[in-house]
């Protein structure tokens, strides 16, 4: 079995580590021996009781990587800095439901109590935080991020590097283009075309 490298030691790494402990709690996978952290800017030797190494020290033949970095722009920079042979893991909390017809990319994190419905497509390096629900046939672009409680209705098309804030939602069939942030509690009822930040109910561009 490959070892698992958690890239990042910030706040989100705490949640990812808890997720890993839940996933492997009923298996023979030894977390203390097979999980480590990667951070080029943390000079400590360990984090949460596990070793920290630099990206230059990764043994790519024996490891797969999970990016525990909440900022999607930083995630993309990290992916671009790693060699093409890098293998990425995917984490799905056992309390979440993922339809058998859904397609999940590499380095996707699906946290506690999420619902991924029929024929959903989630592209690589995306994060679904607590209690996110993705409706049928919705497509999420690379580097998608949802905060807790997000609700995306069915048949939506979401671009690359899109962020939905806590308790935000969409009506069915919405298109959201690349590089857009939807603020906390916002309700998206029309297509979002221009990059920037959208807030309120109904959502409107504010930045």
Q: What is the pLDDT of residues 119-163, one digit of tens each?
A: 999 999 999 999 999 999 999 999 999 999 999 999 999 999 999
pLDDT bucket at 1, cuts 50 / 70 / 90: confident
Domain borders along the chain are 3-81, 91-202
Check if 3-81 and 91-202 are the same fold.
Answer: no
Gap between the Cα atoms of 159 and 141, Å rounded:
5
For the chain, give percent helix, strand, coil, nearest 5. 15, 30, 55
Joined together, the tokens standing for residue 107 give 């380095």
Gap between the Cα atoms of 83 and 85, Å rounded:
5
Gap between the Cα atoms of 127 and 162, Å rounded:
11
CB of 194 closer than 8 Å to CB of 176: no
Question: Strand 63-67 relative to strand 3-7: parallel, antiparallel, unpaired?
Answer: parallel
CATH number of 91-202: 2.160.10.10
**CATH architecture of residue range(s) 3-81:** 3-Layer(aba) Sandwich (3.40)
Backbone phi, then psi, for 56, in 5-degree steps? -70, -15
């Amino acid at each position: 079995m490959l070892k698992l490298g958690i890239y990042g030691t910030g706040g989100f790494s705490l949640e990812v580590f808890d997720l890993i402990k839940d996933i492997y709690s009923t298996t023979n996978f030894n977390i203390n021996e097979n999980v480590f952290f990667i951070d080029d800017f943390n000079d400590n030797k360990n984090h949460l009781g596990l070793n920290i190494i630099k990206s230059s020290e990764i043994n790519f033949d024996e490891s797969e990587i999970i990016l525990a970095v909440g900022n999607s722009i930083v995630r993309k920079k990290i992916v671009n800095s790693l060699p093409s042979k890098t293998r990425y893991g995917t984490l799905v909390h056992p309390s979440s439901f993922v339809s058998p017809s859904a397609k999940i990319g590499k380095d996707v994190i699906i946290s506690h109590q999420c619902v991924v419905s029929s024929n959903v497509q989630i592209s690589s390096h995306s994060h679904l935080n607590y209690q996110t629900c993705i409706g049928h046939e919705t497509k999420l672009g690379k580097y998608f991020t949802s905060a807790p409680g997000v609700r995306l209705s069915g048949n939506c098309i979401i671009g690359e590097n899109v962020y939905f804030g806590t308790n935000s939602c969409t009506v069915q069939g919405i298109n959201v283009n690349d590089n857009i942030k939807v603020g906390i509690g916002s309700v998206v009822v029309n297509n979002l075309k221009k990059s920037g930040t959208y807030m309120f109910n109904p959502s409107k561009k504010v930045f």
